[in-house]
Structure 1
Amino acid sequence: MKSDGPMTWDAILVPLAQTAFKVTGFLVVMLLVARRVIPLVLHWVVHTGSRELFRLAVLAIALGVAFGAAVVFDVSFALGAFFAGMILGETPLSRQATEETLPLRDAFAVLFFVSVGMLFDPSIMLREPLLMLATVGIIVIGKSLAALAIMRAFGHPPATALTIAASLAQIGEFSFILATLGLSLGLLSQNGRDLILGGAIISILLNPLLFFALDRLRERKGSPHEQAHAADPAGPPLPALSGHAVLVGFGGVGHLVALALHDQGQPFVVIEDDLDVVQALRRDGIAALYGNAAAAGMLDLAQIERARWLLLAIPDALEGGEVIAEARKRNKQLEIIARAQSNAQRLHLEKQGADHTIMGEREIADGMSGHVLGSLLREAG
């Protein structure tokens, strides 16, 4: 920015104060007003019974808040959209709102990343190879080391800290937004933006390789049983079990299955990747392991070799297939019952070794048709 005279403190502090006042006003309106008004509006709309109207209301709220933030409070459109999403996410209807707008979200995500790719100038890698290498190093190595140090400082085990560090070895859409904003304000050069975009793209491409290397490191570091213990150091050792059930996942389905097993006095072990859920189960006296069932050693901790049933209550068929394959290696006589959401998932799980697959839609259809046929038989009799 060019000026005819020297920059004074007033020229700096007054705009900063005005901006801070506008942002504060926006935050007050969003946190005190929108938090109360938006749930009431959605509650009224959902009771109209119209899915189209509900979908339109969600889009109108998201875009309206973002546009109002930019026009009224002079806040960036991106910040307004972020707060709109945050408020919508706190409402009791957040899950329904997510499901209704999922196709649009995917379309916008594709459009966003395609547009980012069109902004990137690949020649920057030839013009400034050392700067590009340094940018990638800061993102992949610098961020990972910082995340690793923070996780270890808070007492998390090495396995968890390494996983978080690898997950953060990339930058995403907020970096793109900030880079574009910096360019428009004259705070960032064209080369700077290209370096950030290039570093982001390369870091995203490298991220799967980091996880692959992390898995190989874990295999060399120790036995699967030791790795599983390292992932859940606070977990109390399980008593010797035999003929028990191993329940993977404690969501809506897993919770109902666990209640049925508990009522029948059938011993079971829960494997769940939500630490809060695992701690609550342990307080209730239920054997629970914290971690991913597909992780090395986790099934061994659950004593899968002496189990009678493996019950997969997770919706992810790919992860479920990995668990089934590992469990089948350890126990050929194990009866495996898995959850499927489509015929493709059912075929995949059965190919991996599942003995039975339960599909929600099929069970609902069987229940409805069975009720109708039962009524017809009673009338005929």
Structure 2
Amino acid sequence: MAAAGGSEFLVDAAIYLGATTVAVPIFKKLKLGTILGFLAAGVLFGPHALGLLSSGDGVSQIAELGVVLFLFVIGLELSAPRLWSLKRTIFGLGLLQMLVTGTCIGFAFETFGWLPRGPAFIAGFALACSSTAFALSLLEERGELNTPFGTKAFSVLLFQDIAVIPLLAAIPFVARGQSGEEGASMDPLVIVQAIGALILLILVGRFLLNRYFRLVAVSGSREAFTAAALFVVAATALLLAEAGLSMALGAFLAGVLLAESSFKHQIEADIEPFRELLLGLFFIGVGMQLDLGVMLANWWIVLLGAAALIIFKGGVLYLLVRMFGSKHTEALKVGGVLSQGGEFGFVVFSLGVGRGIFDNEFATISSSVITLSMVATPLIMMALSRVRTKTSVPTPDAPEDEEGEVLVVGYGRVGQIVTQILRGSKVSVTAIDNDPVRIETARAFGAKVFYGDGTDMHLLVGAGATRANAVVFAIDDAKVVAPAVAALRERCPKVKIIVSAYDRLHEMELMDEEIDIIIRETFESAVLMAKRTLGFLGLSDGMIGEIEAEFRDRDRDRLMAQKAGDHHSGQERLDEPFHARTKHKKAEKHERREELVPEDA
């Protein structure tokens, strides 16, 4: 779409954003996923349909940052304990799936003369990858992510995410070979530069990154922390790009190096909006490159290709999962949910066209095959929905000797005590706090505490709110608790929520929210102090218990009346003696009166 001067960028931006707000909600409503929504928007508004956007080249470099951020977040999720707990399925089942599927498809492309050897195997391994976003969102929507087959599917996807890094890194070398620059790929200086960049990145990540984020976090500026996260991604991507490697590889390694950092969840939450928007922009660009004329002219190839991909990938996965000891139903579902092509296929074919290893027709047909296989996946899972999955398994991160999982938001006076008791009770506890000094001290004692804004829903989800049995809010800032609780309840309707209220007014405010338990911060300690004082004054435990119960009833009645608008309710009863105490006084008077009566009266 033509536009004068600098306004062209604004026109394109408006169309991109408008297309996103129209197409994505429709596809999400149809449970087809946001990726297909972005692709549909690109096809519809691109040069081969309505023509509102004439070319995807203008945004391709910006959109590629979406892929970089995506891989950075994948790296953040690859902590050592998680990898170790799933090592057999990740590096056994996942590796075999990629090798068998990618090699067979690549061999077919070369054998039938569709591609030379190098590009053939790049394309084969690209099609061997499934859609991480698509498959995981399907499993989460259906509540099957933590079932046995869901865990195996996740493990395969995890290995595919790892395998994509060398696949992307191989594209420039294959491109040099195709253009007759074989010697360039073996230049010793290039290899030395690449190894040096990797070593430098690992050293910086190991010894400086965590300190850098701690320094920024101490400033208390959320904007500065977000800028720091984006800077790290951009700098690491640029470092490896200058060394002749993939930008995505640099971002991925930076994520892995920060996977054990106390700042990982806040980093992920800050990057999430940029990642989603830029990745969406990338998929819109991919959709714009899909030539509808080529698709329609080769519709039978697209249809047969999608069917062949689904049947072959699903069949390979079924056989491999059975080899790893799973039953028929589990293997069938793993094959079904991972039978589609993935978003990395779009990435590889788009980059391949840019590097000259694929022509536009082949990339368009291949991307169309992936798109059609994605559309078919929800239908396949609906057909398999009658195959019931048996018992759920614990989430991979939870040790076997721990019972339940709790997220504690706020690691101050209250949060620390709650966490200590839960840890001693063999409960898996993750805590969130915004004081980097306090976090560093807590982690030195073995506590699993992460830096971040505990009211940010992206961060809470990343920290495990969606799989937690309970979430405890122990935040000192009273005004931010109610909105955070409301957002959490909307996202996680079944989770138990326990909240520490700052004072009486705060408790009345929280009563409007769907909270399971509200504990007024000073109330319980004050009641305990009063009970101990009454004990020193000689009252019996039974008497003290009756007084406590009556006081709690009075306070609850007064709180409910004040919540209803009667702010002075119950004032007249503040000095009224408790019934238990009055009854005791009467009994004492009666005993003294009996003592004064002579025995012979």
Interval containing the TM-score (normalised by the shorter chain): 0.5 to 0.7
Aligned length: 265
Between stretches 170-179 and 153-162, larger displacement belongs to 153-162
The alpha-carbon deviation at position 26 of structure 1 amounts to 3.2
Task: Please say if 1:251 is aligned against 2:405.
Answer: yes
CA contact (8 A) 2:407 2:465 kept: no
2:390 is paired with a residue whose SS is helix
**Structure 1 length-normalised TM:** 0.57
Does residue 228 of structure 1 match 2:372? Answer: no
User: Of the two, which has the highest radius of gyration?
Assistant: 2
Q: Return the alpha-carbon distance in structure 1 between the equivalents of residues 502 and 286 of structure 2.
A: 45
Against the structure 1 CA distance between its residues 358 and 151, is the aligned structure 2 distance closer, same or farther, given a 3 Å change threshold? closer
Determine the C-alpha separation between the residues in 2 that align with 1:35 and 1:173: 31
- The offset of 1:166, in angstroms, is 2.4
Cα gap change, 1:16 to 1:182, in 2 (>3 Å): farther
Note the C-alpha offset of 1:39. Answer: 1.9
Check whether the contact 1:69–1:77 (CA below 8 A) recurs between aligned residues.
Answer: yes
Match of 1:37 in 2: 208
Q: How does 1:131-146 map to 2 (within 5 A)?
A: 131-146=301-316
The CA RMSD over aligned residues, in Å, is 4.0
Question: Cα offset for 1:57?
Answer: 0.5
Contact 1:22–1:75 (8 Å) recurs in 2: no
Determine if the alignment matches structure 1 residue 194 to structure 2 residue 338: no
Q: Are the aligned partners of 1:65 and 1:84 in contact in 2 as well (CA < 8 Å)?
A: yes
3-state secondary structure, aligned to 2:315: helix
1:60 aligns with 2:222: no
> Which of 375, 379, 384 is the equivalent residue of 1:205?
375
Matching of residue 342 in structure 1 with residue 486 in structure 2? yes
Distance between the aligned counterparts of 2:296 and 2:332, measured in 1?
A: 32
Cα drift, residue 214 of structure 1: 1.4
Whether the aligned pair in 2 keeps the contact of 1:170 and 1:203 (CA below 8 Å) is yes
| Matching residue of 1:92 | 262
Percent identity (aligned)? 23
Return the letter of the residue paired with 1:105.
R
Aligned to 2:10: none
Could you report, residue by residue, the CA deviation over 1:36-67 in whole angstroms, capped at 9, with x for unpaired residues? 32222112222222222111100000011112
In the TM superposition, residue 346 of structure 1 has moved relative to its aligned partner by: 6.1
Query: Could you tell me which residue of structure 1 aligns to residue 222 of structure 2?
Result: 51
In 1, the alpha carbon distance for the partners of 2:352 and 2:466 equals 40
TM alignment of 1:316-355, pairs within 5 A: 316=466, 341-342=485-486, 345=489
- Is the Cα–Cα contact under 8 Å of residues 286 and 350 in structure 2 kept in the other structure? no
Distance verdict in 2 for CA 1:29–1:199, change over 3 Å: farther
Q: Is the 8 A contact 1:42 1:93 kept in 2?
A: yes
The answer for the alignment partner of 1:270 in structure 2 is none
| C-alpha separation in 2, matches of 1:371 and 1:33 | 43
Structure 1 residues 348 and 186, CA, compared in 2 at 3 Å: closer, same or farther? closer
Structure 1 residues 16-25 or 157-166, which shifts more?
Answer: 16-25
Q: How does 1:1-381 map to 2 (within 5 A)?
A: 12-18=182-188, 19-71=190-242, 73-216=243-386, 218=387, 227-228=389-390, 250-252=404-406, 315-316=465-466, 341-342=485-486, 345=489, 358-359=496-497, 364=501, 368-369=506-507, 370-371=520-521
Return closer, same or farther for 1:364/1:196 CA change in 2, 3 Å cut-off. farther
Structure 1 position 344, deviation (Å): 9.4
* Equivalence for 1:224: none
User: Aligned-pair distance for 1:16?
Assistant: 3.1
Deviations 1:276-328 (A, max 9, x none): xxxxxxxxxxxxxxxxxxxxxxxxxxxxxxxxxxxxxx9559xx9xxxxxxxx
Q: 1:347 to 1:64 in 2, by over 3 A?
A: closer
- Structure 2 residue matching 1:151: 3-state secondary structure: helix
Structure 1 gaps of 5+ residues are 1-6, 220-226, 233-248, 264-313, 321-339
SS of residue matched to 2:245:
coil
Q: CA 1:20/1:142 → structure 2, altered by over 3 Å: closer, same or farther?
A: farther
The amino acid across from 1:116 in the alignment is V
In structure 2, the CA distance between the partners of 1:152 and 1:53, relative to structure 1 (3 Å rule), is same
1:91 partner amino acid: S
Give 1:359 deviation, angstroms: 4.4
1: CA distance, partners of 2:311 / 2:487: 42
1:144 CA drift (Å): 2.0
2: CA distance between counterparts of 1:172 and 1:341?
Answer: 35
CA change 1:191–1:366 in 2 (3 A) is farther
CA deviations over 1:245-267 (Å, ceiling 9, x no partner): xxxx932259x99x88x98xxxx
Structure 1 residues 79, 358: CA separation in 2 closer, same or farther (over 3 Å shift)?
Answer: closer
Residue 111 of structure 1 and its aligned partner are, at CA, apart by 1.8
Residues in 2 aligned to 1:215 and 1:165: alpha-carbon distance in whole angstroms:
13
- TM-score when normalising by structure 2: 0.38
Q: 1:15 to 1:90 in 2, by over 3 A?
A: same
Give 5+ residue unaligned stretches, structure 2. Answer: 1-176, 394-402, 409-417, 426-463, 470-483, 508-519, 527-554, 556-570, 576-601
Q: In structure 2, do the counterparts of structure 1 residues 28 and 253 end up closer, same or farther at CA, with 3 Å as the change threshold?
A: closer
Task: Check conservation: 2:194, 2:245, Cα contact below 8 A.
Answer: yes
Q: Secondary structure at the match of 2:357?
A: coil
Query: 1:274 corresponds to which residue?
Result: none
Opposite residue 345 of structure 2, the aligned amino acid is S
CA distance in 2, matches of 1:20, 1:141: 40
1:50–1:36 Cα change, 3 Å: same
Counterparts of 1:35 and 1:168 in 2: how far apart (Å)? 35
Amino acid at match of 1:189: D
Q: For residues 141 and 365 of structure 1, do their structure 2 counterparts lie closer, same or farther at Cα, with a shift above 3 Å needed?
A: farther
SS of aligned partner of 1:65: helix
Q: Aligned pair in 2 of structure 1 residues 344, 36: CA closer, same or farther (>3 Å)?
A: closer
- Counterpart contact for 2:291–2:364, Cα < 8 Å: yes
Distance in 2 between the 1:343 and 1:44 partners?
30
The answer on whether the counterparts of 2:290 and 2:368 sit within 8 Å (CA) in structure 1 is yes
Amino acid at match of 1:252: V
